[in-house]
Structure 1
């Protein structure tokens, strides 16, 4: 082209400072390819635009517009089996930052043989780990707590980068609950799982020494979700360990690095080789882990659809399962509620972790008398929330972890609007990188809308005004799910009614969501929200098999052993009446006939029975 062509701009010399700055930027791009767009903006900002000539370094960077072009320099992380890193043979998977949509690391994926080796390692380690006393296991749990405490900031930043929630929130809802769980298990597992006496209630068994034991299953497979990749996973692993089991942890693909950090925590804490194994595998291999007959218990947290598949696969070997499958958690706001507290609490409960919480407030039923005042407060509180990349500044709401999850959120909002709902704030994602969605409040909703019936799992709060508390409770229970529910009232009688009538595994009054952070609280739901419990006494005992043991130190045969004969036929009706007749006289008369029989004198344990003769009265 001619030099006078207006499409060609005379090259502008780069100043030394600019060259140095660009060189630093390109160096940073090697480690953080999501910054490529910043280089582009820098070039365009120079006047006039240097289209004819750029420094070679920037040309090289701009020639790679996609993160994949620099993937060869991304760090690679591997699975942990028996306290050793194992490089997978099934390829590499990128680790994405949901705030930028760019990869910042990769994980190597185990093949089927390598994944099976993790189960072998756990099975090999089981006899050694189960043989340790509760106090010895508690030492490892306490040491793990010390590691988490020391590395808390590092862990929170990793959660921020890989899962999307701000680091401050990661401390609040992941690191802190993990520390509490480790402490609680170290202090109380022995009391909760120690052998307990079981005094016989039948007088004829009164002489037997009977006890209940809680024994570990063996290898526990924990399949954990991406929304709370540290808090849920670590507390689940710790619970299984406290009960004497060994563990294979399969973290969600979207948050594999956080899962791998849990292996590092326990390795540093001194867990024996094979007691904790963390595997990065393609989801196509997950059924093979679930169906492995060497797995003795499965704990799955995730969607109801996947939970059903896990249950079907586990049924092949009758492997017991614990399933935590999410919810469509309602909040009931009564006319006497403290509206300021209710609005602030529900806004937090709906939008913490960008709404990606199985216990998130996903629908609100507010009595019509106070609906407008409540909605005003909710909208005001929602509009004050800051949304953005947590690495770039203080925000309350980070990106959704998965792009596909944002699409579900968009579909639910669009469906509600198409059926007559009103978006009071939010509702449209901003342009730009990352999988962000603004906190959204919707009114005018009903149960024909997906947002009121399906799990949205995003920052959307639909609010429905109802005529009465009766209607609120009825609609709150009109769901396939029953994980958590909250009621907001100042009246104790109303609170008691809500606690009694709301169909959920957890019901809180004037607060919501928080109970997973309380290590003594059981966690699980009704209906399609799952099976079994995690957390607390119930969750710990899910990790143990119940064994009833009884010892008889006598030498004489028991009253009911062979041979039967005529004497036993006459004796049994007297024994039944002695124990169960309504009148005291009948019980005493038959007891005397029982004691007078020769068979009873030969085989009965009269001294033991006399010690508990009060049961006759």
Structure 2
């Protein structure tokens, strides 16, 4: 894939970028390595000042930044602006809490026969971040804000279709006051990731993306014995039980499925509905999905913009077409729109069986798969019958059912009577083939720290 801004609303190439040369890559790694030697000793006070200044710029420039993200990957202007402001909040969160999160933790001096013993959190060094296009700024900030506040430095290899977003993030961090070399964008193809990760000056890596990409990075990091955090997508269940507020569940289900044109790792993708409310849910759900306005993401009345890439639309089309050919029922949508750009109609599909690829694969587009469950046991079995385990949502007013969902759903997050959302105050990450490690909260900032045990006689 070329490194280029290609407007998904029109399919037109806006701007091409030359990839860095081998000499440029080496220079960037050396700059990061050298910067770390001094940056690791900066105070939390200084880092927080720079983080807050970066947040100020993100807020001030939110409108322009939103327009850039919309141009590059097609999200609506409203959602793009919300993302820019969320990034500012992420920087402020770690500016406020990093010192406490990474404070020395005392041990039991008597038990370890010491005059003083404690755990100390120290930065690892240069961390490579391989990031996706669907949330061009927030995905990277989830790494950048805690990593920088911990005293690490970052190298960002962003998706090739959002180069302007990648360059902007490095620029705004520099203008926020972080010293030169603390955070650099590498405009490189995927084939150069291994070379960067194998460089001895690079200490660790984090990746958000596809399962094949995660496997490739994990294999190289394992060979080099370097720490990694992986978030590899999900096929998140959205369970509706008879006691649920059905109207609220349907309203939220629509948003949870079509947010970002369905291109979100934690978007609800599999709707598992109790038989007692299945027909009513499907009728209401289909009606709302049919009424969504698909169109130009710069138009404030648009609900769903284009998919970000032509290949992404082809992938969605194939999964839906194959399912329909095998007997699944398309209740609405199920086709591309006859217009320029990479638009696909909001789709609801039912009567899916286990032998259909759509049952097992993540559908990265505005396509909702709906399943009927006879009871809570079958709902939980269906929810867990996937190789993924990122987020989940369950709708019930029965407290016993709520406890079962919290305890028994195999996922990194469980939301009760609400849609899955990432917050700095909650750990974010998955299990099974959704990856490992955590972002956000204290867990996220500690991922790229050496937890050093200290014992003094």
Residues 1:338 and 2:245 are matched in the alignment:
yes
Q: What corresponds to 2:377 in structure 1?
A: 470
Q: Deviations over 1:355-384 (max 9, x none)?
A: 110111111110111101011111121122
Q: What corresponds to 1:264 in structure 2?
A: 171
**CA-CA distance at 1:175 after TM superposition:** 1.5
Residues 1:143 and 2:66 are matched in the alignment:
no
Alignment of 1:407-422 (within 5 A): 407-422=314-329
**CA-CA distance at 1:392 after TM superposition:** 4.8
Q: What corresponds to 2:137 in structure 1?
A: 230
**CA-CA distance at 1:272 after TM superposition:** 0.6
What secondary structure sits across from 2:271 in the alignment?
Answer: strand
What secondary structure sits across from 1:487 in the alignment?
Answer: strand
**CA-CA distance at 1:415 after TM superposition:** 1.5
Q: What corresponds to 1:185 in structure 2?
A: 94
Residues 1:300 and 2:210 are matched in the alignment:
no
- Give the Cα–Cα distance (whole angstroms) in 1 for the partners of residues 190 and 407 of structure 2: 40
Any conservation in 2 of the 1:177–1:519 contact (CA below 8 Å)?
no
Any conservation in 2 of the 1:197–1:210 contact (CA below 8 Å)?
yes
**CA-CA distance at 1:256 after TM superposition:** 1.3
Change (3 A) 1:299 1:207: closer
Any conservation in 1 of the 2:114–2:455 contact (CA below 8 Å)?
no
Change (3 A) 1:93 1:487: closer
Unaligned runs of 5+ in 2: none
Any conservation in 2 of the 1:97–1:162 contact (CA below 8 Å)?
yes
With 106-115 and 323-332 compared, the bigger mean Cα shift is at: 106-115
- Give the Cα–Cα distance (whole angstroms) in 2 for the partners of residues 371 and 109 of structure 1: 51
Q: What corresponds to 1:389 in structure 2?
A: 296
Residues 1:513 and 2:401 are matched in the alignment:
no
What secondary structure sits across from 1:436 in the alignment?
Answer: coil
Q: What corresponds to 2:219 in structure 1?
A: 312
Residues 1:533 and 2:443 are matched in the alignment:
no
Residues 1:549 and 2:448 are matched in the alignment:
no
Q: Deviations over 1:113-134 (max 9, x none)?
A: 2112211111010022111111
Q: What corresponds to 1:253 in structure 2?
A: 160
**CA-CA distance at 1:448 after TM superposition:** 1.9
- Give the Cα–Cα distance (whole angstroms) in 2 for the partners of residues 207 and 183 of structure 1: 38
What secondary structure sits across from 2:455 in the alignment?
Answer: strand
- Give the Cα–Cα distance (whole angstroms) in 1 for the partners of residues 144 and 66 of structure 2: 19
Please, what is the CA RMSD of the aligned residues?
1.3
Any conservation in 1 of the 2:77–2:300 contact (CA below 8 Å)?
no
Residues 1:158 and 2:71 are matched in the alignment:
no
**CA-CA distance at 1:520 after TM superposition:** 1.4
- Give the Cα–Cα distance (whole angstroms) in 2 for the partners of residues 400 and 545 of structure 1: 40
Q: What corresponds to 1:38 in structure 2?
A: none
- Give the Cα–Cα distance (whole angstroms) in 1 for the partners of residues 104 and 253 of structure 2: 43
Residues 1:406 and 2:313 are matched in the alignment:
yes
What secondary structure sits across from 2:17 in the alignment?
Answer: strand
- Give the Cα–Cα distance (whole angstroms) in 1 for the partners of residues 410 and 2 of structure 2: 44
Residues 1:322 and 2:232 are matched in the alignment:
no
**CA-CA distance at 1:393 after TM superposition:** 5.3
- Give the Cα–Cα distance (whole angstroms) in 2 for the partners of residues 483 and 92 of structure 1: 30
Q: What corresponds to 1:77 in structure 2?
A: none
**CA-CA distance at 1:207 after TM superposition:** 4.1
- Give the Cα–Cα distance (whole angstroms) in 1 for the partners of residues 420 and 14 of structure 2: 31
Any conservation in 2 of the 1:141–1:183 contact (CA below 8 Å)?
yes
- TM-score normalised by the chain length of structure 1: 0.73
What secondary structure sits across from 1:132 in the alignment?
Answer: coil
Q: What corresponds to 1:485 in structure 2?
A: 392
What secondary structure sits across from 2:154 in the alignment?
Answer: strand
With 159-168 and 377-386 compared, the bigger mean Cα shift is at: 377-386
Higher RCO structure (Cα 8 Å, ≥6 apart): 2
2:22 to 104, 112, 116: 112
What secondary structure sits across from 2:392 in the alignment?
Answer: strand
- Give the Cα–Cα distance (whole angstroms) in 2 for the partners of residues 505 and 397 of structure 1: 27
Q: What corresponds to 2:147 in structure 1?
A: 240
What secondary structure sits across from 1:431 in the alignment?
Answer: coil
Q: Which has the higher helix share?
A: 1
What secondary structure sits across from 1:188 in the alignment?
Answer: helix
Q: Deviations over 1:71-126 (max 9, x none)?
A: xxxxxxxxxxxxxxxxxxxx984320011000112222102221122111110100
- Give the Cα–Cα distance (whole angstroms) in 2 for the partners of residues 99 and 273 of structure 1: 36
Any conservation in 1 of the 2:78–2:300 contact (CA below 8 Å)?
no
